Amino acid sequence: MIPFWKEHQEISAFLEQVQVEMKTCLYIDNNTISEALQNFSVQGGKMIRPALFFLFAGMGARQSQIDNLVKVASSFELLHLATLIHDDIIDDSPTRRNFPTLQNLLGKDTAVYAGDFVYTVYFQLLAETMNGTQLLSANAKSMKKILMGELIQKDQSFVVNVTVYNYLRAISGKTAELLSMSCCQGAYFGGFDETEQKIAKRIGRNIGLAFQIYDDILNFSVELNNEKPILTDVQQGIFTLPLLLARDKAPEKILPYMQQAENLSLNDLYRLADLVKSTGGLHGAMNIAERLTNKALSDIQQLPEGQNKKILAKATKKLLKRAY
Amino acid sequence: MIPFWKEHQEISAFLEQVQVEMKTCLYIDNNTISEALQNFSVQGGKMIRPALFFLFAGMGARQSQIDNLVKVASSFELLHLATLIHDDIIDDSPTRRNFPTLQNLLGKDTAVYAGDFVYTVYFQLLAETMNGTQLLSANAKSMKKILMGELIQKDQSFVVNVTVYNYLRAISGKTAELLSMSCCQGAYFGGFDETEQKIAKRIGRNIGLAFQIYDDILNFSVELNNEKPILTDVQQGIFTLPLLLARDKAPEKILPYMQQAENLSLNDLYRLADLVKSTGGLHGAMNIAERLTNKALSDIQQLPEGQNKKILAKATKKLLKRAY
Residue A249's Cβ-count burial label (10 Å; 0-12, 13-18, 19+) is middle
Q: Quote the minimal CA–CA distance from A120 to chain B in Å.
A: 5
**Best interface-test mutation with B: which of A91, A131, A174 has the largest number of B CBs within 10 A?**
A131
A-chain residues within 8 Å CB-CB of B141? 124
What's residue B323's pLDDT?
A: 41
How many angstroms separate the Cα of B21 from the Cα of each of A139, A180, B38, B69, B71?
21, 29, 10, 11, 7
Residue B222 has pLDDT above 90, yes or no: no
Binary contact (B116, A90; C-beta < 8 A) = no
Are B110 and A151 within 8 A, CB to CB? yes
In chain B, where does DSSP find H-type helix?
A: 9-25, 31-42, 48-57, 63-91, 102-106, 108-130, 135-155, 164-171, 177-189, 194-218, 232-235, 241-249, 251-259, 266-278, 281-301, 307-320
Residue-wise pLDDT for A104-155, tens only, equals 999 998 999 999 999 999 999 999 999 999 899 999 999 999 998 888 888 8
Binary contact (B151, A115; C-beta < 8 A) = no
| For chain B, percent of residues with pLDDT exceeding 70 | 96
Residue B192 has pLDDT above 80, yes or no: yes
Find the closest chain A residue to B84 by CA distance: A113
Residue B47 has pLDDT above 60, yes or no: yes
CB atoms closer than 10 angstroms to residue A242? 28
What's residue A324's pLDDT?
A: 40
Are B13 and B33 within 8 A, CB to CB? no
Torsion of CA B263, B269, B271, B273, to 10 degrees: 140
Binary contact (B137, A148; C-beta < 8 A) = no
Average pLDDT over residues A99-103: 92
| For chain A, percent of residues with pLDDT exceeding 70 | 96
Binary contact (A83, B155; C-beta < 8 A) = no
Q: Quote the minimal CA–CA distance from B314 to chain A in Å.
A: 34
How far from the centroid of its chain's Cα atoms is residue A181's Cα?
A: 12
Q: Quote the minimal CA–CA distance from A89 to chain B in Å.
A: 8
Q: Quote the minimal CA–CA distance from B185 to chain A in Å.
A: 16
Binary contact (A90, B112; C-beta < 8 A) = yes
What's residue A228's pLDDT?
A: 67
A-chain residues within 8 Å CB-CB of B79? none
Average pLDDT over residues B313-318: 92
Residue B64 has pLDDT above 80, yes or no: no
Q: Rounded CA gap, B59 and B310, in Å?
A: 12
A-chain residues within 8 Å CB-CB of B115? 116
Of B33, B124, B152, the CB nearest to A144: B124
Residue B24 has pLDDT above 90, yes or no: yes
Domain ranges of chain B: 1-131, 134-324
B-chain residues within 8 Å CB-CB of A141? 124
Find the closest chain B residue to A89 by CA distance: B109
Average pLDDT over residues B2-17: 92
Predicted-complex ipTM score = 0.90
Of A28, A113, A147, the CB nearest to B154: A113
Which of A283-297, B49-63, B272-286, B303-317 has the least mean pLDDT? B49-63
Q: How many CA atoms lie within 13 A of B283 on its CB side?
A: 7
B-chain residues within 8 Å CB-CB of A101? none
Radius of gyration over every alpha carbon of chain A, rounded to an integer in angstroms: 20
B-chain residues within 8 Å CB-CB of A114? 151
Burial of A291-310, coded b for 16+ CB within 10 Å and e otherwise, reads ebbebbbebbeebeeeebbe
Q: Quote the minimal CA–CA distance from B127 to chain A in Å.
A: 5
Binary contact (B152, A30; C-beta < 8 A) = yes
Average pLDDT over residues B126-136: 93
Of B140, B141, B151, the CB nearest to A113: B151
A-chain residues within 8 Å CB-CB of B150? 113, 116
Residue A96 has pLDDT above 90, yes or no: no
Residue A323 has pLDDT above 50, yes or no: no
A-chain residues within 8 Å CB-CB of B119? 116, 119
Q: Rounded CA gap, A268 and A265, in Å?
A: 5
Residue-wise pLDDT for B199-216, tens only, equals 999 999 999 999 999 999
Q: What is the CATH number of domain B134-324?
A: 1.10.600.10
User: Considering chain B, what is the average pLDDT of its residues?
Assistant: 91
Chain A and chain B share a number of CB contacts under 8 A equal to 129
Are B211 and B220 within 8 A, CB to CB? no
What's residue A63's pLDDT?
A: 73
User: Considering chain A, what is the average pLDDT of its residues?
Assistant: 91
Residue B226 has pLDDT above 70, yes or no: no
Binary contact (A116, B150; C-beta < 8 A) = yes
B1-131 shares its CATH topology with B134-324? yes
Q: Rounded CA gap, A47 and B197, in Å?
A: 42
A-chain residues within 8 Å CB-CB of B126? 140
Of A114, A143, A152, the CB nearest to B120: A143
Binary contact (A29, B89; C-beta < 8 A) = no
Residue-wise pLDDT for A213-228, tens only, equals 999 999 998 776 556 6
Architecture of domain A1-131 in this structure:
Orthogonal Bundle (1.10)
Q: Rounded CA gap, B73 and B18, in Å?
A: 7
Domain A135-324 has CATH 1.10.3720.10: no
Residue-wise pLDDT for B233-256, tens only, equals 999 999 999 999 999 999 999 999
